[in-house]
Amino acid sequence: GGGSNLVVSDAGFPGTVVHVASEGIDLRAGANGTVRVRASAGVEWDALVARCVAEGLSGVECLSGIPGRVGSTPIQNVGAYGQDVSETVVEVLVHDRAAGAMRVLGNADCAFSYRDSAFKGTDRYVVCEVVFELTRSDLSRPVRYAELARTLGVEPGGRVPLADARAAVLRLRRGKGMVLDPADPDTRSAGSFFTNPLLDPDAFTELRKRVAERLGPDVEPPGYPEPDGRVKTSAAWLIDRAGFAKGHGTGPARISSKHTLALTNPGGASTADLLALAREVRAGVAEAFGVTLVNEPVMVGVALDG
């Protein structure tokens, strides 16, 4: 997928790396005003999003500006600003290394969950093509993410022209150093380093108690109910409230000056430096709030617990 979501050991990787560079996008009409978009794994993701927006296809516009390739998106169940690819992926064509054959996996076979899938954490599958089912419309899907809704000047659940949604997402991402820019050291990262914690009700109650004790009885942590009964809270909020400000770092690696979830390499940082900073942040959040953060990038030859 281009390596944008990997953290690789300074010692390298004792194996074979496959660089998928296949190209090709095919659009075919589906049922009820939908369009099936079949894209090769090597297609640049943001180029596909731009094409879909230009073609008047709704469903991935809020995933604008994410680096990497199409083949990597189902692995991570890539998501941002209220959209996940699991909502639009209908098929994934893979090479099953265990069976030595090509297979087509439907959406349910992919076992999608928050930033996870059947593909993550295993080298069994090589993603070759992804098929998305999008809706022909000049308007975005309902805007669910509050920050994006405010930026667009609509209420959550409102819809806006596709081009406006894409432009707003790119503007927000640039403001957080999340759109690649060689001139901006804050963009030298693996994206958001930690996932937003999903807590069961008792754990979220304990978090509220810890927040009140540390920050005052009137302070509430962010909480977003999930369909399974758990509550999603904000890793960025926890990091900031635990005392790690934007730009924090005592070594070559730094927290982004724009976004507390991104750990950056302004220049000269090693993987060891990056992991030292990640462990410092994770330990500080655990001590302050009793929540153990989980890394979002895939670790190759290293581990955050190592």
Q: List, for residues 106-125, the tens digit of each pLDDT value.
A: 999 999 999 999 999 899 99
The last residue of a domain, from among 148, 175, 202: 175
Looking at 122, 145, 175, the residue that finishes a domain is 175
Compute the average pLDDT of residues 188-208.
96
pLDDT of residue 18: 83
List, in sequence order, every residue forming a beta bridge with 104; answer none if it has no partner: 93
- Looking at 175, 193, 216, the residue that finishes a domain is 175
Residues 66 and 154 in one domain: yes
Residues 166 and 195 in one domain: no
In a domain, 95, yes or no: yes
Predicted confidence at residue 1, as pLDDT, reads: 67
**Domain shared by 122 and 12, yes or no:** yes
Beta-carbon contacts of 39 under 8 Å, excluding residues fewer than 6 positions away, are 24, 25, 26, 48, 70, 129, 130, 131, 132
When divided into structural domains, the chain yields a total of 2
> Are 83 and 50 members of one domain?
yes
36 contacts: CB under 8 Å, gap ≥ 6: 27, 28, 29, 30, 90, 131, 132, 133
Same-domain check for residues 162 and 217: no
203 and 143 share one domain: no
Would you say residue 1 lies in a domain?
Answer: no
The pLDDT value recorded for residue 275 is 97
- CA atoms within 13 Å, Cβ hemisphere of 248: 17
Residue 2: pLDDT band (50, 70, 90) is confident
**Looking at the structure, do residues 163 and 270 belong to the same domain, yes or no?**
no
Residue 10 placed within a domain = yes
Average pLDDT, the chain: 96
Find the mean pLDDT for residues 183-192.
93
Residue 22 within a domain: yes
Tell me if 56 is assigned to some domain.
yes
Full residue range of the structural domain in which residue 113 is found: 6-175
Residues 105, 168 share a domain: yes
Considering the domain architecture, whether residues 215 and 130 belong to the same structural domain is answered as no
209 assigned to some structural domain: yes
- List active site positions: 115, 192, 296
Indicate if 111 and 202 belong to the same structural domain: no
Question: Does residue 18 or residue 44 have the better pLDDT?
Answer: 44
* Closest alpha carbon to 207 in 192, 186, 221, 225: 221
- CA gap 191, 177 in Å, rounded: 9
Q: Do the domain assignments include residue 64?
A: yes
Residue-wise pLDDT tens digits, 130-186: 999 999 999 999 999 999 999 999 999 999 999 999 999 999 999 999 998 999 999
Against a cut of 0.95, is the pTM above it? no
Q: What angle do CA 74, 76, 78 make, to 5 degrees?
A: 75
The stretch 40-55 carries a mean pLDDT of: 98
Residues 140 and 276 reside in one and the same domain: no
Total residue count of the chain as it appears in this document: 306
Q: Are 130 and 136 in contact (CB under 8 A)?
A: no
Query: Averaged over 67-90, what is the pLDDT?
Result: 96
Phi (first) and psi of residue 71, to 5 degrees:
-65, -20
Claim to verify: residue 153 and residue 195 sit in the same structural domain: no
Domain of residue 80, CATH code:
3.30.465.10
CA distance 64 to 167: 8
